[in-house]
Structure formats: structure tokens, C-alpha cells
Structure 1
Amino acid sequence: MLKRSFDILSSGVGLLVISPILGMVSIAIAASSKGGIFYRQSRVGLDGKIFNILKFRTMYTGADKQGLLTVGDRDPRVTPTGYYLRKFKLDELPQLFNVFIGEMSMVGPRPEVSKYVDLYAAEDRIVLSIKPGITDYASIYFRNENEILKSSSDPERKYIEDVLPRKLELNKKYIAEMGIWTDIKIIFLTITSIFKKDEDSEVLER
């Protein structure tokens, strides 16, 4: 109950405070490329329920049909405006609506697409026992995920064999530590990590 109250309050206040930013970003997206302002994608949420996650569109229309993973900050499918939205995580801001209506939480395991959830072992499915979040330990640890995948000759295999298992470990770490103060800590680390070049992995390993 406390976590849900925190989510409603923080997302509601957040939407009000950043409404001018949402407006400016919407104008920038509309002016820079053809297509809608928002991008919706089916993700797996609480108890395996499918929902549509909301983001600002950062890729050219139809680009997601070429693959689910984005490789490198300069993936040619990403629009010029989208590059900066991704760099400063502004593309995630519309998910405050997902939080406000109860599909997501401010902090929790990042929701995956069904393709990767189908690869979970039985013990991994514990991450579906809580609401997915806008940010979590894995979001901080893998904030440069696109560049990590770019360095691999087979990004899809790299994600499945190396990145996804580590994300699941960090998701389980969050579940073990879950609480309001943990959420506040993760939100703080998320904000500061956007402006840091060095990874905060030493904090996450504790």
C-alpha cells in the first residue's frame, strides 16, 4: 500500500512538474521526423500480464520491425532527436502515465518483451511477482547497454547469454531489498548516473 501511494504521488506530481518538458519534447519529435509522438510496445508485466509500455518515439516509423534490440548510440534507426532523448532518458518519461494508472511502479524490474521472458527459468519468474518499474538496479548497471551490444559480433546472443542473466540477478537483488528507502536510493542513483561517465557498479555489487 505504501509503495502504491508513493507511486501515485510521485508520478502525479512528476507529470505536473514536467508537463512543459513533455510539450517541448513532443514538438521536437513531430518536427524532426514523420510519425506519431509516442511509441507503444507490448511488454510482460505483473503476473505475466501483457500491457503496452509508453515511450516517446525515438526511431523512424517501422524501424522496430528490423529488430527489438537497439545497437549503439548511433543506431541508424534512431532519429537525431531520439538520440538525445535516449542519452538523457527523456524517452522514458511517458511511463509516468503507466505508473499513475497502476500498470507499472516507479522502481521495479524493467519489463521485457515476451520473446525474452519465454527464456526465463522457473526461478527467474519471481521477477514477474511484482510490478515492473521505470528504473531499477539493472537500468543503472546497464545504462550503456546499447554500446555493450554494439561491441559484440552477435548482439542478440550477447544479450541473451550475458546481459539478460545479469539483469535477472539484479532484479532478484532488488526484490530481496525491496522497500521505500531502496526505491528512493535507486531513483537517486538513476538521476545521478545519467550525468556520469563511470558506472555505479561498485554500489550495485554491495
Structure 2
Amino acid sequence: MLASYACLAGYSIFAGVSLGGTTVGVALLATLNFIAIMAARKNYRLRRLTQIAVQFRETISVWGAVFGALALAGFTMKVSSDFSRGGVIAFFAGGVLSILCSRLLVAGVISRAVANSWFVRREIVIIAEQGYSLSSAPLREMRQFGYRSVKTFEISTYELSGPGITSALREKLADVISTVRERQIGEIYLLFSWTNRRAIDLLLDALTVLPVSVHLVPDESTARYLRNPVVAIGSSWTAEVRRPPLTRMEQWLKRSFDVAVASVAIVLLLPIMVMTALLIKLDSRGPVFFRQTRNGFNGRPFGIFKFRTMRVLENGASIKQATRDDPRITAVGRFLRKSSIDELPQLFNVLIGDMSIVGPRPHASAHNSEYEKLIANYAFRHHVKPGITGWAQVNGLRGETRTVDLMQRRVEHDIWYINNWNIILDAKIAVRTIAVSLIHADAY
């Protein structure tokens, strides 16, 4: 946050203006609110600090929300004229950039520390089912974050065979209790299959004599689900094994990005679009624009806008994909498709809200019906709005899909994008699209 104030002070020196105590006070208020919200959203936790995409998304959204709220308050109370606009912009820009840079640095340091087990060690005792892998992923992660087992007790099937506590198990548990008391251990971890309820309950009853916490480590079959977010529902909880398309905050963030980029792009590219329209009219008979039915978010149909590149206007139950040297493509249309200029009218689809700048490319409704029968999870692509460009396109899966395998690869990339979405990824894909459009030649 010091960088924010440095930017604020630098602006006041450069502009030769006095910011006054009110501006500095409001800046301090913004800082405290930002820290409080980030702490409430658990963004300062050790594990959370290593997640760069999450930190970037949270920082931009919370910092923007705080400034938006303060700006609204200033406007409502008619005191916004008391502040230097340049100073506010300098503080806002300097703050978000400095926080993002610090997050990168902190994540790098913490990741290195975790990898080298630099954290202060916490001594624990492990009681494990015999034959159970002591190198399981949860235990490896515990070791990285400073947990050290002073002793591991293995319990065999024979020791658990009796109706109650067998003599062999009683001796082992006495050893556990003695070790915990002598070493002043505060935590015991049970490493058992979660289906072995009898053994777990038996051990929990036996360990009640110790005033320590007892933890049940997820077994391999359960851990794969618990890597997902855990949601509390009263006294119960669920693992969110499939996330919703986007949260409300993510929807707002993505929509803001779409509107901003589409608006700027339309202004900058308007001369090119006007010239393209003239070339189409001079080259062949027919309309400038081509509108075709595609399936969007949740499978809802919408009309996609494109510059006309063919002599035909196909929009029925059977549509043939364009191929190299396709006779249906006009002379101007061939250049437009290769350069992706024919896609520019879709910027208006973005403004309308049917599409996003980045997302799975929408296919013709006829193709959707065909591929949904051939490719598992194909319909998962409709969990977000379709995009002008996407993760599949910047990874070489652009243009004609001659085989089902090619479409399968495209679908896999689309699903990866949906499951790993963040605003930084959208920005990267948008930038890479420009480069890919200039050098790629797979679109016909």
C-alpha cells in the first residue's frame, strides 16, 4: 500500500497541487476497507496467497469495489469536487499495480518456502491402517507446510479383529498415549480408509483420555473430491465437485471486461469494418452481413453476426463446414476468413450480451446436434457464453474440424477454460488472439 501513497505524493509534486488532509484520509479509509474485505474473504491465508489467479481476481474486484463505493458516496454527498481527480487516479492505479506485484513476489517466496519445508515444524503423531500409503498426497502436503510426525503407529487387521479392543491394540494405544504425553504432542492424525468406520470409532473412543485434537486424513478415494471447495450447509458440508459456470462477482467482472474491450474495439476498428462492407458489396451480390443461428449460454439460440464471405447463406438443419478452396467462398471472403476480419461484427453480439470476448466458439445449431451425440461433455461448453475467441483457438484448434478427434480436442480445451476461468486468462487469450490471427492460416 505504500506504493499507492508514493503515487499520490508523486502526483501532488508533479502537478504542483496540495492534496489536503481530506484526500489522504479518504485514501487511508480505502486502504483499511480493502484490507478488511480481503481478510474477511480469507485472502491472507497461507495457501490462498500461493494462488496467483485467485489473488489477482480478488485484488482487482475488491479494490475496484472499494473505490466504486467511495466514489458513489462522494457523489451522493456532493463532496467529489473537493478531491483531485488526478490524485485519485494515481492512488487507484498505483495501488492495484503495487498490490499485484507484491502478490507475485509473496506467492513466489511462499511457494519456494513450501517446496523446501522452511516453515516452523509442528510435531504430530500418526496412527495409520497397515498397508495404507504413508506417501499419500495429503500427508506430503502436510510435511511441506511444517507438520512432522514424531512417530507413526501402524494398526494391523489382526489388532482390529476382535469385537472390542484386542490386547495387541491395547498395548499399541498405551504406547500412543505415552508418546503424546511425553512429547507434549497437540495433534493426532488418523490415516484410515473412510469406509472402515468401526476402526475409526474404536480409536476415537480410546483416545478420549488425551486432551488433544484428533484429525481424520481424507483417504485417496475421498481426497480427490475434497480438493474442491467445501460448502457448509448447517451442521453438514458438501464438496463442490463441479463449480457453477461463474459466480455473480465473476459474471460482473467478465461482463465489464467484455463491454470495455468491445466498445474500444468497435471505435478503433470502425474504419476497417466500413471498408470491409464496401469491398463485400463491390465483390459479389448479396447482403453485407450474414446472420446465422448458434447456441449460446445454456444452449439458448441466438443470431450471430458475421461479414458475408460466401455466395450462399446457409442457416438450416444441415450446414457444410468451409474447407480449403471452397467454391462457395468469394474472393474477398477468402481474405476476410483468413484474417478473421469476418468475425468483427460479433463485437456487437458482445455488447448485446449474447457473447463474450473470450469463450468457447459457438458452432452452428446443426453441428451442435451432430457432435452432442458423438462427444461426451460436449454440452458442457454451454455453461458460459460463447466467445469471439477462445482457449482452443489460441492453441491451434482454429478453422475446419475435419475429424471427430479434432473436435474432441477443441471441446477438451473449452472445458479446461471453463473450469480454470479468471479475468487474467481472458486478457492473455485476447492478446494471443491478435498474434495468432496474423500468422495462422487454418481458417478457410
Match of 1:104 among 349, 355, 372: 355
Equivalence for 1:183: 426
Percent identical pairs in the alignment equals 39
**For 1:1-52, what per-residue CA distance to the aligned partner results, in whole angstroms no more than 9, with x for missing partners?**
0110111111111111111111000000000000000001000000110000
Match of 1:27 among 268, 278, 296: 278
**For 1:176-198, what per-residue CA distance to the aligned partner results, in whole angstroms no more than 9, with x for missing partners?**
22111101111111111122359
Q: From the superposition, tell whether residues 110 and 198 of structure 1 become closer, same or farther in structure 2 (CA, over 3 Å).
A: closer
* 2:381 aligned with 1:138: no
SS in structure 2 of the partner of residue 87 of structure 1: helix
Task: Give the superposition deviation at 1:63.
Answer: 6.3
Structure 2: give runs of 5+ residues left out of the alignment: 1-251
| TM-score, scaled relative to structure 2 | 0.40
Alpha-carbon distance in structure 2 between the residues aligned to 1:197 and 1:39 = 23
* 2:126 aligned with 1:126: no
What RMSD, in angstroms, separates the aligned Cα atoms of the two structures? 2.1
Number of aligned residues: 186
Alpha-carbon distance in structure 2 between the residues aligned to 1:197 and 1:171 = 19
After the TM superposition, which residues 1-206 of structure 1 pair with which residues of structure 2 at under 5 Å, given as runs? Answer: 1-62=252-313, 67-72=319-324, 74-118=325-369, 119-120=371-372, 123-140=377-394, 141-143=396-398, 145-146=399-400, 149=402, 158=403, 161-196=404-439
Return the index of the structure with the highest Cα Rg.
Answer: 2
SS in structure 1 of the partner of residue 361 of structure 2: coil
Alpha-carbon distance in structure 2 between the residues aligned to 1:180 and 1:62 = 36
Task: Give the superposition deviation at 1:123.
Answer: 2.9
Q: Does the CA-based 8 Å contact 1:34-1:61 persist in structure 2?
A: no
What is the one-letter code of the residue matched to 2:434?
I
Q: From the superposition, tell whether residues 198 and 71 of structure 1 become closer, same or farther in structure 2 (CA, over 3 Å).
A: closer
| TM-score, scaled relative to structure 1 | 0.83
What is the one-letter code of the residue matched to 2:278?
I
Q: Does the CA-based 8 Å contact 2:293-2:315 persist in structure 1?
A: no
What is the one-letter code of the residue matched to 1:39?
F
Equivalence for 2:223: none
Alpha-carbon distance in structure 1 between the residues aligned to 2:366 and 2:327 = 23
Alpha-carbon distance in structure 2 between the residues aligned to 1:198 and 1:76 = 18
SS in structure 2 of the partner of residue 137 of structure 1: coil
Alpha-carbon distance in structure 2 between the residues aligned to 1:63 and 1:52 = 13
**For 1:76-97, what per-residue CA distance to the aligned partner results, in whole angstroms no more than 9, with x for missing partners?**
1100000110111000000000
Q: Does the CA-based 8 Å contact 1:63-1:77 persist in structure 2?
A: no
Equivalence for 1:152: none
What is the one-letter code of the residue matched to 2:397?
F
Task: Give the superposition deviation at 1:166.
Answer: 1.1
Structure 1: give runs of 5+ residues left out of the alignment: 150-157, 200-206
Q: Does the CA-based 8 Å contact 2:359-2:390 persist in structure 1?
A: yes
